[in-house]
Chain A
Amino acid sequence: MTQQHPVPHATVKLVTPPEVVHEHPDVEPIPWKTGRVGIVPSLDDVAILSPTSTSTSTSTSPPTPKPKKSSKLSGSGIPPRRIAVVLKWARRSAQTFFFALFMYFLFQTAFRGSFAARADTPVRLPLPVEAFLLADPFVGAMTVLSTHTVYRGLLWSVGLIALTMVFGRVFCGWICPFGTLHHFFGWLLPSRHGRGASRVEANKTHTYQRVKYYLLYAFLLAGVGGSAIGGLFDPICIAVRSIGLGIIPGAQYISHRALGGLQDVPSRGVQSAADHAQDWLAQAVWQSKQFYFHQTWFIVFLLIAVLFANRFIPRFWCRVLCPLGAFLGVFSRFALFGMTKDHAKCTDCNLCLVHCQAADSPQGGVKWRQDECHMCMNCENACPEDVIKFTFLPNRRSTITAPDTERRTALAAVGAGALFLPAARVADSLDVNYHPKVIRPPGAVEERAFLERCIRCAECMKVCPNNALHPAFLEAGIEGLWTPILIARIGYCEFSCVLCGQVCPTGAIQKIGEKEKMGIGQAPIKIGTAFYDHGRCLPWSMQTPCIVCEEFCPTSPKAIWVEEVDAPVRDSKPGPHGAAPAFRSVHLQRPHVDPSLCVGCGACEKVCPVQDQPAVYVTSVGETRSKTNVILLENTNYNQKS
């Protein structure tokens, strides 16, 4: 990493160039400038320089043998304004609150039933568990560009734009649960190279921070083309997807093993405590059974990779990749609240940079980058020289408000976004090369419209009570990565359940009711059709009674009907004196599917006792949402609404 200033053109003339080290006789030597690395605490664990606290910042304490408290504040020791201290603590409280709220909503993204509900109460979640996604203007913008509409609750995202217009990117610093996670891991994980001088260097503005803007432009152009694939990079989507589909089931697995193991402890008290713990967890945190998600290891691996990146570049995700942050960065140029700097007072102590979350150039001598700043208020709190002040309608002489992107690269990104769609769709398109296993959730719109809307937030997979919905890998083409598909072998679609549509924030799965789903007074919603593999079916080829499929078929009349036959079956043992085995007759019920009644829920496939490759299986053909993926002539209706 070079010592050169990353934004040379932004240097303000009225101070000494930052390459020159100030020599203030009354300023204590700063550890990383004296080469004593490794003792500078990172980020927020530095003592707060509040007016009431007289303890000094530990960053300036002598190295050996033990930090000795001096009565002096570092530098000139001018305490931060009370309002700045209050705002910093307000920010920490907000981060805690919103992260807790996000996790609570995620835990509540599950139907757990209620003792208070009547038998005829429609099954819905009581809370708006998808609220964080509804407030996400990047999701809003992508789907506006792809569908030219704002779907229902996504109107809330305008509120977040309004908040950004007033306060800048406060969402990133104060609200975003994924940002809070990175804030925390940036504090927890700095390496030896992420402290001291390297940390100051890392927290200066770097050109790689432009990447997020290029990503944003590419994703928005993909949206114009008709794909909401930007959801792969939306921080809320990532948080829901990786925590909901990976961390929570993983924690459940570990807890089940650990608390289950306690049952072997020969103590009634321990066993009972373990039982109660599992009861509580099953009711409040996860569900009554272990959930599994197809190829979720990859989703978790990416989460861990991006969290680990904090070790080298603090808040790597937020600074470099986050398209939502970039989106808010574009709007933050209008923000009324912002920073002023008194460059003349700056001693280059770099304490602001030690604490800076967003690498937005808070230090003296350079212009502040409003579009990058998370408004975390750490710099003003850290500054001992009264340089930095956050105010309404600040003087903008030392502020850069617009993203620092290069026009050619931005255009290239836009071009890449626009080209992605033809490339992906020429490679794999569901309405050309139909994939039998891409069974979309009930109420999903037609595939092209689905890809315009689906942001891969995984809310539907998290809420599915039967663990039926899973993130697709390449089944639905490269463009369909992590879109929901039903894997009936793991779980089937519960006939009366419409929860996936309830939580879908973008309308990729419509908010259907029981009437539409079950077909009360109309045709039910079909997501596929079941087929029998006669070579594997017990009554068909092994002369063994079974028909569990028929028992579980939820439609009325049942889509599976049975043919009563008396079939010959050979004895397993040879006859007396090595004679050929005898034959006897066995009464069997052989199942058939009525394709006009089958809704494709997959209950039959789920319960088929032929465990590895079931004798009855569901494929997507016959799904209501498609005008072309049909079998029956009667369902071929090009006039139907998609």
Chain B
Amino acid sequence: MTVPPEGPFPPATPEDVARPSRREMLVRIGAAAGVLGAAAAGARALWDKGGFDVVQASGIRQVRDYRLAERDAQHAELAIARAAPKESGDDSPHPNETPDDLVRRAVGAMGGMGRFISRGDVVVVKPNIGWDRMPIHAANTNPDVVAAVITLAYEAGAKKVVVADGSCNDPNRCFQRSGIWRAAYALGADVVLPQEHRFRTMRLKGDVLDEWPIFTTLVDADKVINVPIAKHHNLAKYTAAMKNWYGVLGGRRNRLHQNIDTSIADLATFMRPTLVIVDAWRVLMRNGPQGGNIDDARDAHTVFATVDQVAADAFGCTLIGQKRENLDYLAMGEKRGLGTTRWESLRVKEV
């Protein structure tokens, strides 16, 4: 297009005052009608008529079930490995006893890791890496226990072992200072920090947990091994296996404490692990769940494995002198059929 010259317009020519041709008129009307029609169609397609769509938290609870179908009678359902004392009356363990031995003994009594993990499985190991504390403080799972579980998983033919948790404190710091990052990396496991993009909102349809961001790394697996640490919790009194699933939640978890027992039960309903291996090598006796003082923790030199999350906590609470009747979430779990609080009724092996 040429730019018209500036200044007064030249005198009008006959073309300037003639009416547009029929053809041009039709094109112009057609263009106007087309734009109007497109706008109307677009608006209609995107029309929000108002009102509310109430989302009901009803329906079947979401469940991620990684359990084995079979519960072979020859294997233990709860295997407790205690370190042999150096000599009777002495609390310190035999110098040859390591967390690795205890994990191997406990898992061995359960029928060996090969029973739980098939060749080529992607195995998620979920320790507790919640706090910026060192192993001596017993606020996070002992790195040696985590390392032993990873080793066993690889020995059983796992294709890939993933170690992840959603920390409370700065995750970089928790993963490093817990010693788990170094131990797991050395064994070739994938260590996945809780990065924002790994969380996806899911509907758990629990009693208090409905829609919540979920750490997808922890649920995208063939097999899931829960490796919590047994410790005191000032609100829930004792926590280990069931409460460990707080680590799959993103978002603002702080509201859950108003009904901590139900939320723990909701989470344990959502996550059904293949195997629970509870680290009680050193347990936090008070000021839980964070501790921070070496004197708050006590050496228990115990590791126990089970397929029953409820029984794991019902037994585990005795290690810090707590009673299962005091833990409301255990009763809720039992009522929902997640397991039994009567851990004695399981096939128990002490090794």
Contacts of A116 in B (CB 8 A): 182, 185
A595 is an interface residue with CB less than 8 A from chain B: no
Question: Which partner residue on chain A sits nearest B131 by CB separation?
Answer: A554
* CB <8 Å contact, A589 and B287: no
Binary CB contact string for chain B from 163 to 188 against chain A (1 if under 8 A, 0 otherwise): 00000111111011111011011100
A164 is an interface residue with CB less than 8 A from chain B: no
A495 is an interface residue with CB less than 8 A from chain B: yes
Q: Which of B320-350 contact A (CB under 8 A)?
A: none
* CB <8 Å contact, A548 and B257: yes
Distance (Å) between the CB of B217 and the closest chain A CB?
10
Q: A544-B258, A609-B254 are in contact. Are A554 and B197 (CB under 8 A)?
A: no
Question: Which partner residue on chain B sits nearest A278 by CB separation?
Answer: B197
* CB <8 Å contact, A556 and B234: no
Binary CB contact string for chain B from 284 to 297 against chain A (1 if under 8 A, 0 otherwise): 00010111110010
A510 is an interface residue with CB less than 8 A from chain B: no
With beta carbons under 8 angstroms apart, the residue of B182, B196, B258, B260 that contacts A290 is B196
B278 is an interface residue with CB less than 8 A from chain A: no
Q: How large is the interface on A (under 10, 10 to 19, 20 to 34, 35 or more residues)?
A: 35 or more
Contacts of B257 in A (CB 8 A): 545-548, 551, 609
* CB <8 Å contact, A113 and B235: no
Task: Report Cα–Cα, A609/B201, bound state, in Å.
Answer: 20
A268 is an interface residue with CB less than 8 A from chain B: no
Q: A544-B258, A554-B290, A554-B292 are in contact. Are A494 and B132 (CB under 8 A)?
A: yes
* CB <8 Å contact, B258 and A546: yes
With beta carbons under 8 angstroms apart, the residue of B168, B252, B289 that contacts A609 is B252
Q: Offer 9 A-B interface pairs, CB within 8 angstroms, sorted by A.
A: A114-B176, A275-B197, A289-B195, A495-B132, A547-B234, A548-B257, A551-B235, A551-B290, A552-B290
B134 is an interface residue with CB less than 8 A from chain A: yes
* CB <8 Å contact, A609 and B181: no
Task: Report Cα–Cα, A263/B216, bound state, in Å.
Answer: 13
* CB <8 Å contact, A497 and B173: yes
Q: Which of A93-118 contact B (CB under 8 A)?
A: 111-118
Interface 9-residue window, one of A36-44, A119-127, A414-422: A119-127
Q: A494-B169, A494-B173, A556-B287 are in contact. Are A256 and B179 (CB under 8 A)?
A: no
Task: Report Cα–Cα, A117/B296, bound state, in Å.
Answer: 25
With beta carbons under 8 angstroms apart, the residue of B143, B196, B200, B296 that contacts A256 is B196
Q: A119-B178, A496-B177, A497-B170 are in contact. Are A551 and B234 (CB under 8 A)?
A: yes
B135 is an interface residue with CB less than 8 A from chain A: yes
Q: A123-B173, A465-B170, A609-B258 are in contact. Are A551 and B289 (CB under 8 A)?
A: yes
The prevalent SS among residues of A at the interface is loop
B22 is an interface residue with CB less than 8 A from chain A: no
With beta carbons under 8 angstroms apart, the residue of A119, A556, A558, A609 that contacts B182 is A119
Task: Report Cα–Cα, A555/B169, bound state, in Å.
Answer: 14
* CB <8 Å contact, B258 and A557: no
B191 is an interface residue with CB less than 8 A from chain A: yes
* CB <8 Å contact, A555 and B292: yes
Contacts of B255 in A (CB 8 A): 609
Task: Report Cα–Cα, A275/B169, bound state, in Å.
Answer: 24
Binary CB contact string for chain B from 15 to 47 against chain A (1 if under 8 A, 0 otherwise): 000000000000000000000000000000000
Contacts of B195 in A (CB 8 A): 278-279, 282, 288-289
A538-B258, A562-B234 known; 14 new pairs, CB 8 Å cut-off, are: A111-B170, A113-B176, A114-B181, A115-B181, A119-B182, A259-B197, A275-B197, A288-B193, A494-B170, A545-B257, A545-B258, A548-B257, A551-B257, A551-B289
* CB <8 Å contact, A547 and B173: no
With beta carbons under 8 angstroms apart, the residue of A111, A289, A545 that contacts B260 is A545
Distance (Å) between the CB of B138 and the closest chain A CB?
12
Contacts of A120 in B (CB 8 A): 134, 177
Contacts of A458 in B (CB 8 A): none
Q: Which of B224-270 contact A (CB under 8 A)?
A: 233-235, 252, 254-255, 257-260
Question: Which partner residue on chain B sits nearest A558 by CB separation?
Answer: B287
Contacts of A117 in B (CB 8 A): 176, 181-182
B194 is an interface residue with CB less than 8 A from chain A: yes
Contacts of A287 in B (CB 8 A): 172
Q: Which of A531-554 contact B (CB under 8 A)?
A: 538, 544-548, 550-554
Contacts of A544 in B (CB 8 A): 258
Distance (Å) between the CB of A127 and the closest chain B CB?
16
Distance (Å) between the CB of B293 and the closest chain A CB?
4
Q: Which of A444-459 contact B (CB under 8 A)?
A: none
A466 is an interface residue with CB less than 8 A from chain B: yes
Question: Which partner residue on chain B sits nearest A561 by CB separation?
Answer: B234
* CB <8 Å contact, A556 and B292: yes
Binary CB contact string for chain B from 106 to 124 against chain A (1 if under 8 A, 0 otherwise): 0000000000000000000
Binary CB contact string for chain A from 269 to 297 against chain B (1 if under 8 A, 0 otherwise): 00000010011001000011110000000
Distance (Å) between the CB of A77 and the closest chain B CB?
38
